[in-house]
Amino acid sequence: MEKDDHFSSEKLDVLDAGMNLKEHAQLEAHDKLRNPLMGLSKEELFADVETFARDHQLEPILEDLQKGALVARDPKSFESLEELSESEKELFRRETTHRYHQPAMLFFMTGLCAGSAIVQGMDQTAVNGAQEYYFAEFGVTDRSLQGFLNGAPYLCSALVGSWTTAPLNRWFGRRGCIFISCLISFAASFWMAAAHTWWNLLLGRFLLGFAVGAKSTTTPVYGAECSPANIRGSLVMMWQMWTAFGIMLGFIASVAFMDVKHATIPGLNWRLMLGSTAIPPMIVCIMVYFCPESPRWYMTRGNYQKAYNALCRLRSTPLQAARDLYYIHSALTSEEKLREGKNLLRELFTVPRNRRGLQSAFFVMFMQQFCGVNAIMYYSSSMFRNAGFDLRTALITSLGCGITNWLFAIPAVYTIDTFGRRNLLLVTFPLMALFHLLTGFSFWIENNVAKTACVATFIYLFMIVYSPGAGPVPFTYSAEAFPLYVRDIGMSFATATTWLFNFIISFTWPEINEKFTPQGGFAYYAAWNVFGWIVCYFCLPETKALSLEELDQVFSIPTRRHASHYWAMLPWYLRKYFLRQDVGPQRQLYDYE
């Protein structure tokens, strides 16, 4: 093939890898999304800004819009702009030197997102201790019914909740969707706490699922759309860390209320465990009132003045707000052109680049569940009782799982952007498999003290390696895997995937534990972690620190070629990391400019 100078070297690599001209045209369109202002002359840029200000009644801030557009066109060259005063240049310098020197409202908005994540985590694990009491009170002995009762929220989320995200966001905005989700969580908490039969409890837990899917999809998006670009990654990563904190609070509630009794209120302890989950969503509902709506959402509704006012609350100066307002508008215009006349669901499956992103997102979301973590999160108290602990000790030991999960999720804020998504999974999958096997084998120990100690130790070790790996990677990876124009529907699919398999884990563990014994159950999930490592090594591309253009290149490489490359690299890894030999540089699959 003759190589025209019009193509960049990485695009030629993609074409050589088998990308047809239609895919190449798609990639060219995505390039525009990387920075829609790139390539415009100063005169063209100012003309577009004037039209933009006139069309949206923003003439009073025209000067700030023009200066902001110049900075947005090439953020690294603002020092050479004659239009900026020295004090204005200092503003943009501080975005690099003082990245976290931000308005109080931005951190308040981050607190709202953290609170929403805490709601999510607490809803998941308060049931861990409560089930030890309500199964007995309601006479629920059938293992399948136990699993269905515990997993009902995730079934509802997979079938309904995750797919309500788009209409709720369209009609009520990001804040409105978070408010409605937390209001449902608040109501479901009281419903569950007041349940008088198992089927009434089942209805309450099913109602909870309407909140789970929409909230888990919308909150990270809201945080990303409100945050400045230079700290967006770390703020969005807080979702997983604070979800882990909420998971810990769910375990704390189990321990805090386990001894509470009342002569006329049966099961007051487990009712308080489930009822306590109403506190975080109540706080979030109040916080929503004080936070601005996503500027991007306002702009999709044509309300640019409100979008600018929101940005002024979220940015340090009006100039920075004007810059981001115009840049977001330009990106939205480019996205709209890319969406025009297309069936987005069909595009997700039929465009090879999108399909490869989809299969990668599906894989990481699937493995987040089938690594076996939520069998522990939902049933650790039962596991510890099977190992020989009494109920009180089992609940306290389960609290250790929640604390461990949260503490070791904190380093992931750093490691996910330094060590990489793929590398974190490659390191932690085999360790999780090992600790699953060791946990299962520990149930064969005859000495009761040694058995309980080993079971608790290996479950804790499993949580330590899960927290920085399969915990934070899936949601971060999925948000990166899709092009912007299909990201909303792609994330709905990814979120529905994780909640569907979450339900399957919750539903099947009691039956697996009874039929295959704990040894067989833990070995089952150990095998899935081995499977996860194999697929991750051969088929999962790395997305760390890549631009939109580079991500398009990565996901345009056929999976077969990716697998062939890493098969050929196995001897190199063996000689370097196991035999400790001197080897040449690693052969690269991608060639970035």
pLDDT of residue 483: 80
Phi and psi based region of residue 547 (left: phi greater than 0; alpha: psi -120 to 50; beta: remaining): beta
Q: What is the pLDDT of residues 417-438, one digit of tens each?
A: 778 889 999 999 999 999 999 9
Q: What is the pLDDT of residues 486-495, one digit of tens each?
A: 877 888 888 8
Indicate whether 112 pLDDT > 60: yes
Indicate whether 10 pLDDT > 70: no
- Region 346-361: mean pLDDT is 91
> What is the percent of the chain with per-residue pLDDT over 70, rounded to a whole number?
92
Indicate whether 272 pLDDT > 60: yes
| Of 304, 316, 367, 311, residue with least CA distance to 535 | 367
Kindly state the helix (H) or strand (E) to which residue 67 belongs, with its residue range: helix 62-73
Query: Higher-confidence residue: 214 or 321?
Result: 321
> What is the percent of the chain with per-residue pLDDT over 90, rounded to a whole number?
58
Fold agreement between 103-291 and 347-593: yes
Q: What is the pLDDT of residues 80-91, one digit of tens each?
A: 888 888 999 998
Q: CA–CA separation, 561 vs 361, rounded Å?
A: 19
Indicate whether 218 pLDDT > 90: no
Q: Could you tell me the pTM of the whole model?
A: 0.84
Q: Are 174 and 218 in contact (CB under 8 A)?
A: yes
pLDDT of residue 2: 36
Q: Are 237 and 472 in contact (CB under 8 A)?
A: yes
- Region 205-212: mean pLDDT is 91
Q: Quick one: pLDDT band at residue 47, thresholds 50, 70, 90?
A: very high
Q: What is the pLDDT of residues 538-548, one digit of tens each?
A: 999 988 877 66
pLDDT of residue 548: 63
- Region 198-220: mean pLDDT is 90
pLDDT of residue 177: 93
CA dihedral 459, 464, 465, 471 (to 10 degrees): 100
Give me the phi and psi of 272, to 5 degrees please: -70, -35
Residue 345's identity, in one-letter code, is: L
Q: CA–CA separation, 183 vs 281, rounded Å?
A: 7
For 440, the token pair is 């299962």
- Helical pair 473-481 and 198-226, crossing angle rounded to 10 deg: 60
Q: Quick one: pLDDT band at residue 534, thresholds 50, 70, 90?
A: very high
pLDDT of residue 103: 92
Of 177-181, 407-411, 479-483, least confident by mean pLDDT is: 479-483
* Domain ranges across the chain: 37-69+294-339, 103-291, 347-593
């490489």: which residue's tokens?
557
Indicate whether 23 pLDDT > 80: no
Q: Are 368 and 425 in contact (CB under 8 A)?
A: no
pLDDT of residue 62: 93
Q: CA–CA separation, 231 vs 223, rounded Å?
A: 11
Q: Quick one: pLDDT band at residue 592, thresholds 50, 70, 90?
A: very low
Q: Quick one: pLDDT band at residue 17, thresholds 50, 70, 90?
A: very low
Q: Quick one: pLDDT band at residue 236, thresholds 50, 70, 90?
A: low
pLDDT of residue 490: 87
Please give the full DSSP string across 205-243, using - where no structure is assigned. HHHHHHHHHHHHHHHHHHHHHHS-GGGHHHHHHHHHHHH
- Region 291-306: mean pLDDT is 92
Indicate whether 26 pLDDT > 80: no
Q: Quick one: pLDDT band at residue 233, thresholds 50, 70, 90?
A: low
Of 19-23, 75-79, 213-217, 528-532, least confident by mean pLDDT is: 19-23
Q: Quick one: pLDDT band at residue 202, thresholds 50, 70, 90?
A: very high
Candidates 1.10.10.10, 3.40.50.720, 1.20.1250.20, 2.60.40.10; correct CATH number of 347-593?
A: 1.20.1250.20
Give me the phi and psi of 446, to 5 degrees please: -80, -35
Indicate whether 21 pLDDT > 70: no
Q: What is the pLDDT of residues 137-192, one digit of tens each?
A: 999 999 999 999 999 999 998 888 878 888 888 899 999 999 999 999 999 999 99
Candidates 1.20.1250.20, 3.40.630.30, 3.30.450.20, 3.20.20.10; correct CATH number of 103-291?
A: 1.20.1250.20
Altogether, the residues listed in the chain come to a count of: 593
For 551, the token pair is 């991500």
Q: Quick one: pLDDT band at residue 27, thresholds 50, 70, 90?
A: very low
Q: What is the pLDDT of residues 508-527, one digit of tens each?
A: 999 999 999 999 999 999 99
Q: Quick one: pLDDT band at residue 590, thresholds 50, 70, 90?
A: low
Indicate whether 6 pLDDT > 60: no
For the chain, the C-alpha Rg in angstroms (whole number) is 26
Residue-averaged pLDDT of the chain = 87
Q: Are 146 and 510 in contact (CB under 8 A)?
A: yes
* Largest CA-CA distance found in the chain, in angstroms, rounded: 86
